[in-house]
Amino acid sequence: MTPGALILGLAIVIAQAVALFWLSRGVLFGYVMRTLAARSARPAGRRLINLLRLPGNLLHEVSHAAAYLLSGYRVRGLATCWSDPEGRGYVEAGPPWSPLHWGPLSAALSCAAPLLVGALSIHALGSLLGIPLPALDLTAEGVGPAAAATLTGAWRLLTHVDPLAWQTYVFWLLAFSIGAEMAPSGSDLRQGCVMLAVLVLLVAIGLLAVPQMELRPDRAEALLAGAAWLLSTLSTALFAGLIGCGVVGLLPAGLAWALRRAGGPRAPGRSRRPSATSPRRSGRRGRASDRTSRPAPRR
């Protein structure tokens, strides 16, 4: 694959990630979860929602912790929405364990980790449970077939699942939970997205510079082949995540729409931002998203 084709593939992967972020944060969490939480006046209802969130929230926080560890920082504390008294979940970074550490890089990796790990998990979950998620690499297919492939993949998932199989319901619950929790928080984005954009720009410049480097032809070819494999893997996982989250979110989104139309009772004080169900965006001593994105230890 040529450097120009790799740049196009990188742009496609970024577009897929942005679409999955919007679906997760804007629809599954921002619309569905908040609608259900606003009408959970009883503690049992709030606990049920937190139980539904728990698999995805745990995966979200563990991905933050893994990003810190891989980038040279220890993890001082971790809590999920179930164990956090405020129902949000957080990760608190500790001091560095490696001399090769850099705070901005750690923040960028931590920012991207939940979305990528979530998409890979949904893709793996579909394979494990025999759910017909489409395995499509848009970097190989190109931009043109993307819309048709998305509609075809969603229709195939809707029409080929077995409604009597237990695997269908396990996948639905876990994919919805993971999908609603995979988006980075606002503070994660503020602290990590700039460095993440710089890293993407550097990767693009590096790909364009490969032909200009004084590398042996076999090494240059191996480098480009490795980049193509990585982009292909990310594109396939992100596409599966988009289709999986989009399809499993249809029924909850319809339920949330019906609840809003009916104007049912809301939990007191929870109509705008239900603390028992808001993930990672605040914590006991300030915003937990600061802890999930801050690579340096808290003072």
Return the structure tokens found at 177: 């939970």
Residue with tokens 């876990």: 174
Q: What is the pTM of this model?
A: 0.82
Each residue's pLDDT expressed in tens, for the chain with a length of 299 residues:
688 888 888 988 899 899 999 999 999 998 998 888 887 767 787 888 889 999 999 999 999 999 999 999 999 999 998 988 887 888 999 999 999 889 899 999 999 999 999 999 999 999 999 988 876 777 766 656 666 777 777 888 888 888 889 999 999 999 999 999 999 988 788 888 889 999 999 999 988 888 777 777 788 888 888 888 998 889 889 988 988 898 888 888 988 899 888 875 554 443 333 333 333 333 333 333 344 444 443 33
Cβ-proximal residues to 25 (8 Å cutoff; 6+ apart), any chain: 183
Residues 80, 84, 86, 89: is their CA dihedral positive or negative? negative
Nearest to 83 by CA among 298, 293, 228, 288: 288
Residues 249, 80, 69, 299: is their CA dihedral positive or negative? positive
